[in-house]
Structure 1
């Protein structure tokens, strides 16, 4: 058995058609999807021109004037129809509602902004006195807020110092890492992780999370032209092509960096242990 949909006029099996209202004859059947599409069109007409259309037409058959039954009408249309008196009231008193909402928002802002502002300033001052610093940094994933703690200056932190991560660093790139400090000045410290290999056969190592596209070469030859001394037996850079004979080199990609007194604070808080006996592990 088959019949025609009164909206799309296509013939289909009765199992795929429904009877949404009290219409008879050729207007009796329709597809559920066609009815929902008709309701959506009616609703759009109402929203575009409410003075010419009635919201009740969304749920009422325009032929027999009866409401569509619950099995055929879209739930969202039923919900909209139920709330239509509230919508009508809101349209009627739009100016009053707008003024009321605006007044409430202004009053809330006037009341709570000074409180929130003072709490923020107080928290910042407390954190600042405790040695915490805030800094926005750019990463591959976007802008991130970085919070770190500074400390009193540690005199042992200088070029050539070896730092060994303690058990307090439980994850991330710095876990179980050993770092050679290359520079430690007022503006901050720079160092290389030297025990994390990218390619062990080529002696290529990951120096840290900062600018991992940069390449640095450490070696043990003080006679290399243009090199800089880090500490006894460890030099950086210079003219290494072709590589001088009897020169051990370590290629470092990326580096690690800390702001002023940040590394000092991490050492004093127990994140790092100074252990210059680890220099032999560099090569």
Structure 2
């Protein structure tokens, strides 16, 4: 998987990606048409895949004709916000683990919050009716001031992104499987088990049956 460290373009896309719609089915076997957005779905690394995205689940934050961006949601680190924020707006930072969101800008902090469909999430991007995301420091501070429960918010260091048509090519090659993303998948499932649970959802198989030949990611 080839990445380009285009942080400013990523932020513009997250702020203004044009959404056409996604398939309602649990998975799709071929690359989406250029007019179809995968925002709000999981990219699940194919069984047997090797490389930095082995057994990962990526939540697609934005996807349009210019490319796609997302965060890996199942790689928790042993760090918390208390380890990296010198003057946080909340004293609960030690409650919030940091997840490794991807190889791009590994020090860039972002937040994913579980939200009600009609909640006021100004300054954040609505990824699904139940989840909102931001990489903006002011939005992150606003979330911290709310001091949400640790099982209602996820903080990420880094992200992943694809250039135009790159993700579609990777899907066509079999590198990723696709399924809809539910808030419960992220906020109510142990990160270490998420990949296996999603694979079982998609394929109906579990355990050693999933460990097939795969490609590099």
| TM-score category of the 2 structures, normalised to the smaller one | 0.5 to 0.7
State the Cα deviation string for residues 202-261 of structure 1 (Å, max 9, x = none): 331011111101000000133244222011211013321312556811001100111111
Contact 1:224 1:240 in 2 (8 A): no
For 1:241, the equivalent position in structure 2 comes to 144
Gaps of 5+ in 2: 6-30, 80-94, 188-217
Q: What SS is found at the alignment partner of 2:146?
A: coil
Contact 1:160 1:180 in 2 (8 A): yes
Contact 2:70 2:159 in 1 (8 A): yes
Contact 1:169 1:175 in 2 (8 A): yes
Contact 2:100 2:158 in 1 (8 A): yes
Q: How does 1:77-226 map to 2 (within 5 A)?
A: 153=33, 157-170=37-50, 172-199=51-78, 202-221=96-115, 222-226=119-123
Q: Distance in 1 between matches of 2:148 and 2:63?
A: 31
Greater helix content: 1
Q: What SS is found at the alignment partner of 2:184?
A: helix
Give the total of aligned pairs: 136
Q: What SS is found at the alignment partner of 2:143?
A: coil
* Shift in alpha-carbon separation, 1:196–1:243, aligned structure 2, 3 A: same
Q: Provide runs of 4+ in structure 1 moved above 4 Å.
A: 135-138, 154-157, 244-247
- Normalised TM-score (structure 2): 0.55
For 1:274, the equivalent position in structure 2 comes to 178
For 2:24, the equivalent position in structure 1 comes to none
Contact 2:125 2:132 in 1 (8 A): yes
RMSD in angstroms over aligned alpha carbons? 2.7
Q: Distance in 2 between matches of 1:175 and 1:278?
A: 21
Structure showing greater radius of gyration is 1
Gaps of 5+ in 1: 1-134, 139-150
Contact 1:168 1:270 in 2 (8 A): no
Contact 1:162 1:279 in 2 (8 A): no
* Shift in alpha-carbon separation, 1:137–1:218, aligned structure 2, 3 A: closer
- Normalised TM-score (structure 1): 0.43
Q: Distance in 1 between matches of 2:3 and 2:146?
A: 41
Q: Distance in 2 between matches of 1:240 and 1:174?
A: 28
Q: Distance in 2 between matches of 1:231 and 1:185?
A: 16
